Chain A
């Protein structure tokens, strides 16, 4: 039999349905592959029993002649930001070491209800703060990709780097990610896979550990656009437990997939042509434009004049919310508690948080605390919120002349671990193309477009109108059909 781990979500689902193979065979194949991939450090917790239980349920249902659930027989990886009942959940931080939720996040529950099984919890940047996975308290994830002739470990992107690495290495056909300023799209681009962040409010945030509440959105990461559509259909949906959840039915995105863009207009925003952008990225962007024109779309130049203010606004708003969201990790009720001899309450807070949070998390808590402080609030937070409104307005204007926007996903291919970790600003610049659509709450996805001269994947980003995930997926599919991206990393682990 062919290697079942070469199959994606749709192929596994269809194969289990048709009886080409059993769900248990699929689960076993991935469990073995996960177990052998320790050098990638993609999984924080492996849950083979959970994957097998879901697989057996699928096989039993099929044997009984029942209609199979949408994801029956499909094992997936779960980013460790999602609380999973009875399975340790840490957000890759020491401060949550030992924390085992008594509840299941809405997004993960939706996936289990759809028949998916859990292979394990995926490593990530600590509290989803980072673009390289170097901020994980449990060691960084390594990308399965390498530069030719080099053993230098590369960043899988972040913060959903465990997800990107695992999917790219074939450890799972799909995984969940979360995206606050690009945490699904940038790692997808770095590892040659697809990932979509839906409209803010499509996926419930209930049970997902918060980084920046007004920006956080869950989404799938998988090998192709169809697999993303299938997974997102299962993850999304209104949830009364999240006050920002959208009261919208979930469209049948997979059924609506079409790579023909006849009658569609694709906007190309000039402000994304930033100084110092590598020529290869420029060239890929042009190729993307040509592919979409070939798919029938009309290409239009658009302007998003406030783009350059997006990154600074994001690095005020996200840390501000994070500084408050992370106040609950205080050593009182769960997770780490550091109680030095004779310590009082304030000492316990200080010791616990000093020991529990990593340097990047501390940096953002301090930035957030500062920008919310009396005397600075208006100059930073209020100003950033105004910028956010202007950015959203930029997009609204753009929609008058186009249906989707095409941009590069990140300003570079994957960098080596350690290359940027000493310079937070250089690291933050990685988010320059993904942050504006996050601030505006728009659906956006990354699809692989090609390889750079070093043989590393590059991604193209499609940004859509609110609730128009279908338009984003279809444009992604049009690129996928023309880019012919079939490169896979060589197994070295």
Chain B
């Protein structure tokens, strides 16, 4: 465990920030939570709306068990208690994007109870972890969307999202700095993507956070919190916390009082502003949805959920570390599920773990970055990469030759052995040939030879360079070193 030393320096001393996050994650499913309508992102307005989603008279919700399954798997992935008996409640309020006049959610008896997520706030030191409590995960319907830019005097409603399944993942107020909140979100996102219960795509709105922030003098009781709604990137969440904490400290130190309220984050200015205070809060008149029976899960369902869980980021990181991979590289390799799957495939194709980790985190990630590619679009497959690494391991290629071959692989997609063959890039350890070249190099550089023998040993590198250059980079560097030492002494 690490304790955050993050503090706001106020006029009256240091302040501690207390943060809790409520993350809304869209459940990966072809159909909505209570209807069979599709859920694809970016469809034409009102093309993914069933009679149920539009709340036509007499329409009834029927739970989509795939959405329930995904939420249960998510709960299991954070070691949470799964409630075999849960219930749906109606949250009643009027708005044009809410056709039923209520959202079906779970207030009193959520599907998933207490769990925890381990975070590493400092990416330079991934072993310094902190545990963030998760209070609950419940499932609920998303609302539709109002469009105000379609007509000069009217607003339009798009119900495509109406009824889409969301998981609301509620953390404990256990975070103490923007960095911890960022680490929590990244870790949660990674877990969701490993599990496959949410694509974690914050730009498309499939994951967004309500940010609860309060400040206090270290050791004091919790202060009054504000809730900044619907923040849709890790960076914005961190910026919102930073702004909001400073605002609260200044407010209190100026003799004001923080009011419990809902706030909005402005992406352009990086500031938050008040949306509505607790006094204007809706009375949602929650009550159990009488259209739905309590959700009761049997052991077979839970066992199938458990059996379907993949290896999760923490377990994978520890496994990599046990293979001799550095903690930092293991953390980098496991942060994104696609990269981790790619790396696993590389290991399965026979690559040696440490060399594979070095090569993947430097050469591959570097090349992908330069090309602007996701790992999913990598022009080089794990099998091809394993072949390349095998050529290095057996001495066929030197490090620098391997780089050249990799460049060609990226361009042509050809197999490394073919590239080596076609372009004659094979490294040579032929001592006769190397000795002949060395003799030539020495003969051409009598001055340097004299200086070297006179004690200027740094000139050894000069002779290595000249020899390698004369051999077109294909000489085995270790052999060159050995032979040069003999020739120069």
Query: For the complex, is B349 an interface residue (Cβ under 8 Å from A)?
Result: no
Specify which chain A residues have a CB less than 8 angstroms from the CB of B100 in the assembled complex: 327-328
Query: When each residue 202-223 of chain A gets 1 if its CB lies under 8 Å from chain B and 0 otherwise, what string results?
Result: 0001111110111000000000
Interface residues in B279-308 (C-beta closer than 8 Å to A): 283, 285-287, 290-293
Which 6 A-B pairs give the minimum distances between C-beta atoms?
A327-B101, A372-B285, A213-B290, A214-B290, A328-B55, A207-B58
Query: For the complex, is A243 an interface residue (Cβ under 8 Å from B)?
Result: yes
Query: For the complex, is A83 an interface residue (Cβ under 8 Å from B)?
Result: yes
Specify which chain B residues have a CB less than 8 angstroms from the CB of A321 in the assembled complex: 290
Asked whether, in the complex, the Cβ of B101 is within 8 Å of the Cβ of A330, the reply is yes
Asked whether, in the complex, the Cβ of B99 is within 8 Å of the Cβ of A332, the reply is yes
Query: For the complex, is B222 an interface residue (Cβ under 8 Å from A)?
Result: no
Of B60-68, B125-133, B166-174, B239-247, which binds chain A? B60-68
Specify which chain B residues have a CB less than 8 angstroms from the CB of A103 in the assembled complex: 51, 56
**13 A-B pairs (CB sep. < 8 Å):** A82-B58, A83-B56, A83-B58, A99-B57, A103-B51, A242-B62, A327-B100, A330-B94, A330-B101, A333-B54, A333-B56, A333-B99, A374-B285
Residues on A facing B (Cβ under 8 Å):
82-83, 89, 91, 96, 99, 101-103, 105, 205-210, 212-214, 240-244, 320-321, 323-324, 326-328, 330, 332-334, 345-346, 349, 369, 372-374, 377, 381
Asked whether, in the complex, the Cβ of B58 is within 8 Å of the Cβ of A240, the reply is no
From DSSP, what is the main secondary structure of chain B's interface residues?
A: loop
Expressed in whole angstroms, the Cα–Cα distance for A111 and B143 within the complex equals 36
Asked whether, in the complex, the Cβ of B101 is within 8 Å of the Cβ of A241, the reply is no
Expressed in whole angstroms, the Cα–Cα distance for A151 and B245 within the complex equals 78
Asked whether, in the complex, the Cβ of A327 is within 8 Å of the Cβ of B94, the reply is yes
Expressed in whole angstroms, the Cα–Cα distance for A96 and B58 within the complex equals 12
Expressed in whole angstroms, the Cα–Cα distance for A377 and B100 within the complex equals 21
Number of A-B contacts (CB under 8 A): 99
Specify which chain A residues have a CB less than 8 angstroms from the CB of B157 in the assembled complex: 332
Q: How many residues of B contact A (CB 8 A)?
A: 30
Asked whether, in the complex, the Cβ of A373 is within 8 Å of the Cβ of B290, the reply is no
Expressed in whole angstroms, the Cα–Cα distance for A96 and B57 within the complex equals 9
Expressed in whole angstroms, the Cα–Cα distance for A282 and B285 within the complex equals 43
From DSSP, what is the main secondary structure of chain A's interface residues?
A: loop
Expressed in whole angstroms, the Cα–Cα distance for A326 and B293 within the complex equals 20
Interface residues in B39-69 (C-beta closer than 8 Å to A): 51, 54-63
Q: Which of A82, A328, A373 contacts B99 (CB 8 A)?
A: A328
Expressed in whole angstroms, the Cα–Cα distance for A349 and B59 within the complex equals 21
Specify which chain A residues have a CB less than 8 angstroms from the CB of B51 in the assembled complex: 102-103
Asked whether, in the complex, the Cβ of A91 is within 8 Å of the Cβ of B290, the reply is no
Query: For the complex, is B381 an interface residue (Cβ under 8 Å from A)?
Result: no
Specify which chain A residues have a CB less than 8 angstroms from the CB of B94 in the assembled complex: 327, 330, 346, 349
User: What residue in chain A is nearest B282 (Cβ atoms)?
Assistant: A374
User: What residue in chain B is nearest A208 (Cβ atoms)?
Assistant: B58
Q: Which of A326, A346, A372 contacts B287 (CB 8 A)?
A: A372
16 other A-B residue contacts (CB within 8 Å) besides A210-B57, A326-B101, A327-B101: A82-B58, A103-B56, A205-B60, A206-B59, A206-B60, A209-B57, A210-B291, A213-B291, A244-B292, A323-B285, A324-B92, A324-B102, A334-B56, A345-B96, A372-B285, A373-B285
Asked whether, in the complex, the Cβ of A83 is within 8 Å of the Cβ of B57, the reply is yes
Query: For the complex, is B189 an interface residue (Cβ under 8 Å from A)?
Result: no
Specify which chain B residues have a CB less than 8 angstroms from the CB of A244 in the assembled complex: 291-293
User: What residue in chain A is nearest B51 (Cβ atoms)?
Assistant: A103
Q: A207-B58, A328-B101 are in contact. Are A320 and B292 (CB under 8 A)?
A: no
Q: How far is the CB of A240 from chain B (nearest CB, A)?
A: 7
Specify which chain B residues have a CB less than 8 angstroms from the CB of A243 in the assembled complex: 60-63, 291-293
Query: For the complex, is B90 an interface residue (Cβ under 8 Å from A)?
Result: yes
Expressed in whole angstroms, the Cα–Cα distance for A373 and B283 within the complex equals 7
User: What residue in chain A is nearest B287 (Cβ atoms)?
Assistant: A372
Q: A243-B292, A327-B101 are in contact. Are A372 and B59 (CB under 8 A)?
A: no
User: What residue in chain A is nearest B102 (Cβ atoms)?
Assistant: A324
Specify which chain A residues have a CB less than 8 angstroms from the CB of B54 in the assembled complex: 333
Asked whether, in the complex, the Cβ of A240 is within 8 Å of the Cβ of B62, the reply is yes
Interface residues in B61-111 (C-beta closer than 8 Å to A): 61-63, 90, 92, 94-96, 99-102
Q: Which of A209, A212, A327, A346 contacts B290 (CB 8 A)?
A: A212
Specify which chain B residues have a CB less than 8 angstroms from the CB of A208 in the assembled complex: 58
Asked whether, in the complex, the Cβ of B57 is within 8 Å of the Cβ of A333, the reply is no
Specify which chain B residues have a CB less than 8 angstroms from the CB of A206 in the assembled complex: 58-60
Q: A103-B51, A243-B63 are in contact. Are A377 and B57 (CB under 8 A)?
A: no
Q: A83-B58, A243-B60, A243-B291 are in contact. Are A324 and B99 (CB under 8 A)?
A: no
Specify which chain A residues have a CB less than 8 angstroms from the CB of B102 in the assembled complex: 324, 327
Asked whether, in the complex, the Cβ of A372 is within 8 Å of the Cβ of B92, the reply is yes
Specify which chain A residues have a CB less than 8 angstroms from the CB of B61 in the assembled complex: 243
User: What residue in chain A is nearest B34 (Cβ atoms)?
Assistant: A243
Expressed in whole angstroms, the Cα–Cα distance for A37 and B310 within the complex equals 70
Expressed in whole angstroms, the Cα–Cα distance for A99 and B54 within the complex equals 14
Q: How far is the CB of B471 from chain A (nearest CB, A)?
A: 76
In this complex, the member of A328, A345, A381 whose beta carbon has the largest number of chain B beta carbons within 10 angstroms is A328
In this complex, the member of B51, B57, B155 whose beta carbon has the largest number of chain A beta carbons within 10 angstroms is B57
Q: A243-B292, A327-B94 are in contact. Are A369 and B285 (CB under 8 A)?
A: yes
Specify which chain A residues have a CB less than 8 angstroms from the CB of B291 in the assembled complex: 205, 210, 213, 243-244
Specify which chain B residues have a CB less than 8 angstroms from the CB of A105 in the assembled complex: 58
Q: How far is the CB of A482 from chain B (nearest CB, A)?
A: 39
Specify which chain B residues have a CB less than 8 angstroms from the CB of A96 in the assembled complex: 57
Asked whether, in the complex, the Cβ of B101 is within 8 Å of the Cβ of A210, the reply is no
Specify which chain A residues have a CB less than 8 angstroms from the CB of B96 in the assembled complex: 330, 332, 345
Q: How far is the CB of B117 from chain A (nearest CB, A)?
A: 32
Expressed in whole angstroms, the Cα–Cα distance for A330 and B56 within the complex equals 11
User: What residue in chain A is nearest B101 (Cβ atoms)?
Assistant: A327
In this complex, the member of B92, B285, B286 whose beta carbon has the largest number of chain A beta carbons within 10 angstroms is B285
Expressed in whole angstroms, the Cα–Cα distance for A373 and B157 within the complex equals 29
Asked whether, in the complex, the Cβ of B58 is within 8 Å of the Cβ of A209, the reply is yes
Q: How far is the CB of B154 from chain A (nearest CB, A)?
A: 10
Interface residues in B307-356 (C-beta closer than 8 Å to A): none
